[in-house]
A and B are shown apart, each in its own frame.
Chain A
Amino acid sequence: MEPVNDIAQLVVNGLMSGAILAVPAIAFSLIFAVLQVSNFSVAAHIALGAYAAYVVNTVLGLPIVAAVAIAFVAAGVVGVASDHLALKPLRRHGPITVAIASMALNLVLENMLRFGFGNTVQALNIPVYRDWVLGGLHIAPQQFYNFLIAAAVMVALFCLLAFTSIGKAMRAVADNPVLADIKGIDPEFISRLAVFIGMGLAGIGGVLIALDAAIEPTVGFRVILPIFAAAVLGGLGNVAGAVAGALLVGVAEELSLLVLPVAYRSAIGFFAIIIALLFFPRGILGKR
């Protein structure tokens, strides 16, 4: 009975961590869907969101809801500005050039955070609660709340894309930018909007990580591999696929502990990318 309980606990832990990864994975996929480029500066925007939440919650003493909102706006605005200044001029040179430039942009943004906040580890001012124990499974209340925040964000994004004219315009540009342009949709505006929402989501991802762990400038870089793996596994450009990919990577990382030493957990991200490229080159839910 105990092994079954162990597996169930690992699945629960994996779903919790996968849900947190899902939010920035959506960001990565959404930007790819509209701009057709991999923007690795998502990592720095995760850190930016975490620091914005630190300022709002720890320094100014405002509640976490306010921290989530400010983190979304701050990361979104910086995302649009940095994309305009650093990446947009390079788009005509192809997606590889932009992807490499986004890594450089990530370094710049990460070091700007370092200049502003230093290297010391920071934390949000929230109480730590004891676990709930349900049927022998331990569930941390904060991680469950994080799961709910992540789910709410994903539902809101789904509603935006499915039911609003802006969402339809974004999907139209993602499917066929030339046709969307002919139909009177401004691709430039939609691109900026996609970057704003995408980087804003990365910022929220940073808050979710900060709620459970510590804040330091490399907090986003630490999770960029599983985020990229989730986006690739789900099919780059497929928002729903990014969620499925993140949950799969999260659960696979935890279940790997049954057969692999803990130190190899990071390899799961690489393994997921290899599996996706070999067997699901368009992702498990991909259509491109």
Chain B
Amino acid sequence: MTQGKISRRTLLGTAAGAGTALLLGAGASRAQLSEPVRIGGLMSLTGAGGTWGPIMTKIQQQIVAQVNEAGGVLGQKVEYFVEDDQTNPDAGVLAVRKLIDVNRVCAITGVWSSGVAMPTLPICWQNKVAMLGIAASDTLAELPHQGYFLRTYVPVSLQGREIGRFGLSKGAKSFFLMLAQNPFSLAMLKGLKDEVEPKGAKVAHVIYDGTKTSFRSEVDQALKSKPDFIMLGGYPQDSASIAKDLYRNSYSGTVCGFGTAITSEFIAAAGKDVAAGVFTVFPSVAENSPAYKSLQKLVGSSDLLDTNRCQAYDQINLAILAVAAGKQASGESIQKTIRSTIGGPEGEPVGDVMTGLKLLSEGKRINYDGASSNCEFLPNGNIPNAYFKTMQVKDGVLVTI
């Protein structure tokens, strides 16, 4: 083993390096970005998620426009690119490749479908791009994503548990789950089973192909087990067809759907008579938060806003604020900054991007509390707390119960 000698040249070199680092460090505190901030929206503009994609895109475009009108982030404009994943994994992979390889985005927002998120998340972490998604499959959080996955929604197993609790509260002893073929189906089933089976209830299920137009035989299969609680775990169009067949069969038990299944579209497609009495249990949004009020103002509506809009709003705000707080437009900085600072409990509470940017420019620390949740993320990408809401269709509208 030899003892290293420090020569005069080495010493001078080290000193020069340290000096440069200090100068750069000082510059970083007043940092200006050298390139535009590029953010990609991987949106389900068509396919099963086609109802939500355009709405989510519009909200994110509005936020980006606001930021750019006010001068952008750290001296640069925000460039927002949208690609349609068609709610289809193949199209999603092509879309995310385009966003990363061609548009060179540092963060990807939207990502509504678990089927799309499964193959696209590895592409994101391999390219050090942060993914801020909605996709609810539990498996996503278990992938080795190195922190690049941040989910603004509640994982589906917790939703399954909550629906199970609701069923038990209605006195259900025999549950039947009708689940669309999707990466979240088994997690939903497991969540519900874990909740109700220890309490003596039976659970049966069928996983159906949601692209079909008729589900009559699936409904016959469900009714054979004589369930007193049927859960609809698909999308509005297939859930409406199933609900019609349950109505035709004069099913008199409780029907309860997952948040993405029982929507105003479900009611329109099923009709008032068929939809009457159907319940939905879904993760609630932060209705009393300043962020929620700010979003209502942005979309020009005082009505109840759905979780997808709230999450789209939070995702784009988080990405932009993370760039401003971390002073870098990189995926690594974004995911770390969201977890370490702006998503954390310390700092001034902020619910909109403009206030957040202003406080950051004044050198203050901020805590972004979102419209969908308080936006604090665990290392696996999940939010730690989930609050649920129960609604029922009455006279053609969903009302809180």
Q: A-side interface residues toward B, CB under 8 Å?
A: 9-10, 13, 16-17, 111, 114, 118-123, 127-131, 138, 140, 143, 209, 212-219, 222-223, 254, 257, 261-263, 265-266
Contacts and interface: CB of A to CB of B under 8 A. Distances in A.
A213 B273 contact: no
A131 B249 contact: yes
B211 A120 contact: no
Given A128-B247, A130-B247, A257 B221 contact: yes
A119 B268 contact: no
A154 B213 CA distance: 21
Contacts of B51: 119-121
Given A121-B236, A222-B211, A262-B209, A13 B248 contact: no
B145 interface: no
Contacts of A128: 244, 247-248, 271, 273-274
B54 A121 contact: no
6 contacts: A118-B54, A119-B54, A127-B273, A140-B248, A214-B237, A263-B208
B211 A266 contact: yes
B209 A123 contact: no
A263 B269 contact: no
Nearest to B49: A119
A9 B223 CA distance: 13
B255 to A, nearest CB: 14
B207 A262 contact: yes
Contacts of B171: none
A214 B268 CA distance: 9
Contacts of A209: 213
Contact of A121 (B46, B47, B245, B265): B265
B217 A262 contact: yes
B241 A213 contact: yes
Interface of B: 45-47, 50-51, 53-54, 181, 206-209, 211-214, 216-218, 220-221, 236-237, 240-241, 244-245, 247-250, 265-266, 268-271, 273-274
B46 A217 contact: yes
Contact of A123 (B45, B216, B240): B240
B220 A261 contact: no
A170 to B, nearest CB: 30
B57 to A, nearest CB: 12
A254 B221 CA distance: 11
Contacts of B244: 128, 212
A143 B217 CA distance: 13
B245 A140 contact: yes
A262 B274 contact: no
B84 to A, nearest CB: 10
B50 A119 contact: yes
A269 to B, nearest CB: 11
B66 to A, nearest CB: 25
A222 B220 contact: no
Nearest to A141: B248
Nearest to B206: A262
A123 B47 CA distance: 17
B214 A123 contact: no
A50 to B, nearest CB: 10
Nearest to B45: A119
A212 B214 contact: yes
A10 B269 contact: no
B240 A214 contact: yes
B265 A265 contact: no
Contacts of A262: 206-209, 217-218, 221
Nearest to A256: B217
Contacts of B54: 118-119
A161 B181 CA distance: 42
B236 to A, nearest CB: 5
A122 B217 contact: no
Contacts of A140: 216, 245, 248
Contacts of A119: 45-46, 50-51, 53-54
B200 to A, nearest CB: 27
Contacts of B245: 140
Given A17-B216, A128-B247, A263-B209, 10 more contacts: A16-B216, A128-B244, A209-B213, A214-B237, A216-B237, A219-B213, A254-B217, A262-B206, A262-B209, A265-B212
Instruction: Kindly name the residue among A16, A17, A118, A213 whose own CB sees the greatest number of chain B CB atoms within 10 A.
Output: A213
Nearest to A142: B248
A16 B240 CA distance: 19
B46 A212 contact: no
A108 to B, nearest CB: 13
A69 B19 CA distance: 82
Contacts of A118: 54
B213 A212 contact: yes
A288 B274 CA distance: 48
B216 A13 contact: yes
B249 A138 contact: yes
Contacts of B212: 222, 265-266
A121 B234 CA distance: 14
B209 A265 contact: yes
Contacts of A138: 220, 248-249
B280 to A, nearest CB: 16
A281 B253 CA distance: 49
Contacts of A218: 46-47
A218 B86 CA distance: 11
A119 B265 CA distance: 10
A156 B122 CA distance: 55
A123 B207 contact: no
Contacts of B241: 212-214
B208 A123 contact: no
A13 B270 CA distance: 20
B220 A9 contact: yes
A257 B220 CA distance: 11
B209 to A, nearest CB: 5
Contacts of A212: 213-214, 241, 244
Contacts of A13: 214, 216-217, 220
A222 B265 CA distance: 19
Contact of B207 (A131, A143, A261): A261
Contacts of B270: 123
B211 to A, nearest CB: 5
